[in-house]
A and B are shown apart, each in its own frame.
Chain A
């Protein structure tokens, strides 16, 4: 056993350490929670943190591993959130078990987001660089616009869906029967949801996301995706179907974002499309870049720190977002400027060189 560990590659060790770290964090937080040592605001942050970790890890698949800048990741989260809410609300009577309903909602969120990711991905991935970025941004805004017009209700006859294009329709236009539930009310979003998301579910989702992304990256598929990132022409020259592998990465990333969106949606009694706008996409992108492109555990740490930071800065009240901005700029300067780096390395003893291919 000891030998086995010694023979493992550094990358594999990093992967296992990531899993272990997440498990340890979950255990510690659960213990603290049961001991009553967490404040209400801290408890309230647990599920969103899990969601954002999944968002960051899945976005890292697109930005860090595939190397394409996406500014519309929140769009997939939005698709997942609303499809999750629809599933959970409309199955209330037929599936009374909350856990089963939660799982169904997450799976549905992932599937729908994957479908949307596929539809968006086919044309979009033919574009390169900043053009791809702007199209993903545009796509996120389109999703937001459509959901803002969406009216969804449920009654015994099933789901009723209408698109309020000209602003004249209301929930009455759905002609819901008796015992109906109004699920999505256009720009107001979904309200009165059952909050069935739990921290344990969040932890499981994080673990599943990690397993999917890490195993994918360490497989033939992941190598092909990274080859495309490093040198598209060389990747083609060794027989890699560029579109196919770009799509696999993009759709996987979208599906995971959908699942985390579903969990996020089911953690609040109300959600609206405006919560998943461009700024949310940017927020997640910041987590990914600060955590290190292609660095999965870095994404996790960055998410936790940057999510908690504004809360921790609460005592500075008005100045906290300003401080956040300054921290963001300083960190980018510190990690990317050669002079800064040189000055830092003089202060801090040089770290051991990382594994060759942990990207």
Chain B
């Protein structure tokens, strides 16, 4: 039973990683860049949700709001966070990354790091360095087996959100016109442009989707561990990036699988081996997997053409 509860913790944590990793992997797939600022977009999403929720519960809703009113206002707050992050993603891409489309990948990487620094320090100036106490979007827990197994509603919500996002994204990229344009751009930007695809708009769209997902991940992450700091996003960001590579970067199912597995490994390592070494174990597993499968679990290996 203990094992089951750790497993569930792992899956829900992994779902958060998966949602972040989806953003990483989509951006990587299309722009071939490691967007190190992605983790900080999560943080921004968390702050927007935090402030709007505090405002809503403080001034909009009365002293004893109904459950429906609370739920609705939370939903609106999450949507607001998504909207802000979407705009932020598009602005970052347009200002910092688009001018470097033709530059080397390292230049873009350093710029992404610059953006990451910028967001963290701007957040510190705007919101202060003190940790904020985030109220989980949903409270309470499900009790099973006569109290032996407790699953928080946040965990359930996280897993559900992750699955819904995953299905929607898969459908979007395989069925919709914009999704097909994205896949075309990730294969060959030049050829896509010749086929009449608006490459810049497609890339902006990818950043928008990735950032909206980051906002959702931010809200879920803060509900999971309710301390919000300007640096909240960086470690989950790095881990989600690891998850994306683990599953095969550029692959949407890969990001999902990588995220879930990473969450499970982390939770199990913390429970059974060592809390201190959990990150080390997680990264060690990653290295072993990459040595056996150099392109990740679901990534395709493209041999160099001679």
Contacts and interface: CB of A to CB of B under 8 A. Distances in A.
Chains A, B in direct contact (C-beta < 8 Å): yes
Contact of B286 (A69, A135, A165, A167): A135
Interface stretch (B65-73, B118-126, B139-147, B172-180): B118-126
A325 B115 contact: yes
A337 B283 CA distance: 35
A127 interface: yes
B274 A233 contact: no
B283 A333 contact: no
Given A130-B34, A137-B238, A336-B107, A167 B99 contact: no
Nearest to A279: B234
A108 B304 CA distance: 40
Interface stretch (B46-54, B198-206, B216-224, B289-297): B289-297
Given A131-B290, A133-B34, A336-B100, A289 B106 contact: yes
B104 interface: yes
A328 B117 contact: yes
Contacts of B238: 137, 141, 278
A212 interface: no
Contacts of A340: 99
Interface string A276-287: 001000100110
Nearest to B278: A145
A144 B121 CA distance: 25
Nearest to A146: B280
Contact of A333 (B102, B111, B125, B287): B111
A289 B120 CA distance: 21
A319 to B, nearest CB: 7
Interface string A259-291: 000000000000000000010001001100110
Interface residues on B, range: 35 or more
B279 A325 contact: no
B227 to A, nearest CB: 18
A255 B231 CA distance: 32
Interface residues of A, number: 53
Contact of B290 (A135, A146, A289, A324): A135
Contacts of A141: 238, 279-280, 283
A171 B306 CA distance: 58
A301 interface: no
Interface string B247-283: 0010000000000000000000000011111111101
7 closest cross-chain pairs (CB), A and B: A145-B280, A138-B283, A328-B114, A336-B103, A325-B117, A325-B118, A329-B114
20 contacts: A127-B291, A141-B279, A141-B280, A142-B279, A144-B280, A145-B283, A146-B280, A148-B276, A167-B275, A167-B276, A285-B110, A289-B106, A293-B106, A321-B117, A324-B117, A325-B115, A332-B110, A333-B96, A333-B99, A336-B107
